[in-house]
A and B are shown apart, each in its own frame.
Chain A
Amino acid sequence: EAGVTQFPSHSVIEKGQTVTLRCDPISGHDNLYWYRRVMGKEIKFLLHFVKESKQDESGMPNNRFLAERTGGTYSTLKVQPAELEDSGVYFCASSQESSGGNEQFFGPGTRLTVL
């Protein structure tokens, strides 16, 4: 069974440019999460999809970030325009259930560098 995959693995862009990150969850997982780790600090929650619906987007930093999950399969996270403070590692995770001790399976992350 394939795990969670993310593309690209690294992205280097200039301030003001646009970047789109992609996440393919494990097949059959309705729950998809985005997280971000900035500058070696804690990993912070960004948002949660259940199928194609945004269940919780309380962690999205501002309106420069747009996440979509059309058709309830893969998800994209677009940053437009990118700022220096957006640099970090963006993780995607998926799970079958969202309650209890259900495990979230993480992708390898996308390292974003904004110059």
Chain B
Amino acid sequence: GDSVTQMEGPVTLSEEAFLTINCTYTATGYPSLFWYVQYPGEGLQLLLKATKADDKGSNKGFEATYRKETTSFHLEKGSVQVSDSAVYFCARNFYNQGGKLIFGQGTELSVKP
């Protein structure tokens, strides 16, 4: 069935380290792809999105490129901060099924000073 798979956590990095969180998706239809973030004690927030192949989403120093050929949408940041500690969720939607989202299992990131 349709699914989103992302790398398991937890991931622990030192401040200013490079971050990659891998995400792959099943390629049925023409999905839009999303990264959501959940900071401690808060709800999910949209971090970035891409709506078609080769689009790059970016926000707060994070980037992800929609790669149709590899069905991937990996999240990257060149220099993480302590404030980036959160749980990150990769997701795809189903535009012809009311826009419902399919999420990956989430990756917990902890950044140490």
Contacts and interface: CB of A to CB of B under 8 A. Distances in A.
A42 B99 contact: no
Given A42-B4, A56-B98, A106-B43, A101 B51 contact: yes
A55 B98 contact: yes
Contact of B100 (A3, A56, A91, A100): A56
A40 B106 contact: yes
B43 A108 contact: yes
Contact of A91 (B43, B91, B97, B98): B43
A43 interface: yes
A45 B98 CA distance: 12
Contacts of B81: none
Contacts of B88: none
Given A42-B104, A42-B105, A43-B106, A106 B98 contact: no
Contacts of B95: 99-100
B42 interface: yes
Nearest to A33: B100
B46 interface: yes
Interface string A25-47: 00000010101010011111100
Nearest to B43: A108
Nearest to B96: A99
Interface string B24-60: 0000000010101000001111100111000000000
B73 interface: no
A4 interface: yes
A85 interface: no
Interface of A: 3-4, 31, 33, 35, 37, 40-45, 48, 50, 55-56, 59, 91, 93, 95, 97-109
Interface of B: 4, 32, 34, 36, 42-46, 49-51, 89, 91, 93, 95-106
26 contacts: A33-B100, A35-B101, A37-B106, A40-B106, A41-B105, A42-B4, A42-B106, A43-B44, A43-B89, A43-B91, A43-B106, A44-B103, A55-B98, A59-B100, A98-B98, A98-B99, A99-B95, A99-B96, A100-B95, A101-B51, A101-B93, A102-B99, A104-B46, A106-B43, A106-B44, A108-B43
